[in-house]
A and B are shown apart, each in its own frame.
Chain A
Amino acid sequence: MALASEKKGAMVIGIHENSSNGGEFELRDVSVTYGSELAVAGVSMDIERCAVTALIGPSGCGKSTLLRCLNRMNDEVSNATVGGSIKLDGTDIYGKDMDPVELRTRVGQVFQKPNPFPMTIYDNVAYGPRTQGLRQRGALDDLVERSLKRAALWTEVKKDLKKHAFELSGGQQQRLCIARALATQPEVLLMDEPASSLDPISTQQIEDTIAELKSSVTIVIVTHNMQQAARISDWTAFMLRESMEEPAALVEVGETRSMFTNPGDKRTEAYITGRFG
């Protein structure tokens, strides 16, 4: 019994150890339809492995919608359909053989508002691995510690892992959610305005964490804050919905430095210089 679980635990770790050096996305002509309304259309871009890609644009321009395509969370919206092709490391994630539940262990997500589960800090981080069948105490302890360290929360909570997650501050809760997502050892981490509900110091900590993480994980971050995009991202994609009659579209994507100093499109320039949005 003990042997079997040990073996299983080791196996789970093994699989992830091999694949924890990021993943790359290839989006071709991606569109999202809610019911009969085309919300996002014609998005084609590549997302580089182990880099930070920022999605920027005004409210309602489809950034979060596009982000949710990457881990198929749009599947949970009953009337949403996704068109075009999205490949993760060459495999079509909307293909027949792709299980969305398994995909989400490879593509983690951190939400806008910290959403820790009503349980202890330890159990929050151990939640994902336990679902994947990791039961062995020692391996779980290691993984929890490693994940909390990667999310830069370990030193603050190592003495009270049994404390209820709700007792943490907002910024700590968000880093706990990052640790929780990292515990399934994803190749990609999607972040939907992860700092928008936090104070400047907590925001700084989250940004530092992102900078640390990008050596081992591909990060796609949606942000309203252009300074943030400029500070932390390697690539920037600018999205825009020009009118309510048209779907949102990708205006341009490029290296962050050149996007912010020398944007290719007039609309991008107008947005980043603050003329609208």
Chain B
Amino acid sequence: MARSSTTRRRIGRPVSSRAADGAVRKLITANGLVAILILAAIFLFLAFNSQRALQEVGILTMLTGREWYPTIGVPRFGFLPLMAGSMVVTLTALVMSVPVSIAAAVFVSEFATRRVKEISKSIIEFMAAVPSVVYGFVGLAVVVPWVKEVFQLSSGLSALSAAVVLAFMIAPTIVSIAEDALHAVPNELRQGSLALGNTRWQTTYKVVLPSASSGVLAGVMLGMGRAIGETMAVLMLTGNAAILPSSVFDSVRTITGTIAAEMGNVVQGGLHQSVLFNLGLVLFTITFIINLVADLVLEKQRKRWRR
């Protein structure tokens, strides 16, 4: 409001330009609002369809139930095995992917020559463009037999197999965001550190990485969001046993995999369907929180260098 009054008082600008300025601003604002509205609509849609299960099963029973048998005579709708499945796969994938991805980002940003940098960046971008079903297929053909062989398992379809493939799938997200964050560190800081008698490597881990830490963290969070939300590859590789896993070698079933596998076979408006919408709501909440935190962290990073 204060802004529009100062605009009106400003001298020397033609009225038409001012009007166009206002129109563009309104258009952009409308676009932003539409995005928020769509998000709200998705949430309301999920919440609305969740009503029946919330009344008949109850949120607490779902969130703390240890058994998932949705189609037996007296069905059990416990989310714990599914949430545990998602967590095991996601965290294992992060453990494998994060160190390598950060190292790759450091290499690309700090050590690679310009040509190597360009090539690696386009390969990393290409990795993000491969459809997830292709990753799943490669996982089935390569990773699953390998895991079975190496760890002497009766079946290679396990949390570990899915995590290995997911580690590759989330790497582009982590690498590109971490690389952006490292790249944004002002060159004067590197020069300052080198001039104090530090090696390139010391400069990287003592000044550049800490300066970019919040951006790197945001990359990890977004990678995590991607891992939790990934459906096709995990559906193909986890074996889909809805039991609480005791190790990464167990077959697990994830939240996304459950929704994708069961949504097609449920009675419209039935209890099972409503429970699946609740599951969707849980997933929505988790990814929303992760993305929100990542965004806040990135915003903090941007402010730091705006001086």
Contacts and interface: CB of A to CB of B under 8 A. Distances in A.
A104 B198 CA distance: 8
Contact of B195 (A102, A104, A113, A116): A104
B124 to A, nearest CB: 23
Given A101-B199, A111-B188, A117 B193 contact: yes
Nearest to B191: A111
Interface stretch (A23-31, A124-132, A213-221): A124-132
A103 B199 CA distance: 12
B307 to A, nearest CB: 7
Given A115-B186, A118-B210, A105 B192 contact: no
B38 to A, nearest CB: 38
Interface in B148-192: 186, 188-189, 191-192
B307 A184 contact: no
B244 interface: no
Given A117-B193, A118-B211, A118-B304, A131 B198 contact: yes
B207 interface: yes
Interface residues of B, number: 20
A166 B191 contact: no
Nearest to A104: B197
Interface string B206-220: 110011000000000
B19 interface: no
B196 interface: yes
| Chain A CB within 10 Å, residue with most, of B113, B196, B206, B211 | B196
A181 B188 contact: no
Nearest to B211: A118
Contacts of B194: 73, 76, 104
Nearest to A166: B307
Given A127-B206, A131-B202, A166-B307, A115 B191 contact: yes
A181 B198 CA distance: 12
Contacts of A73: 191, 194-195
Contact of B207 (A111, A113, A117): A117
B197 A177 contact: no
Ranked 3 nearest A-B pairs via Cβ: A105-B197, A115-B188, A109-B195
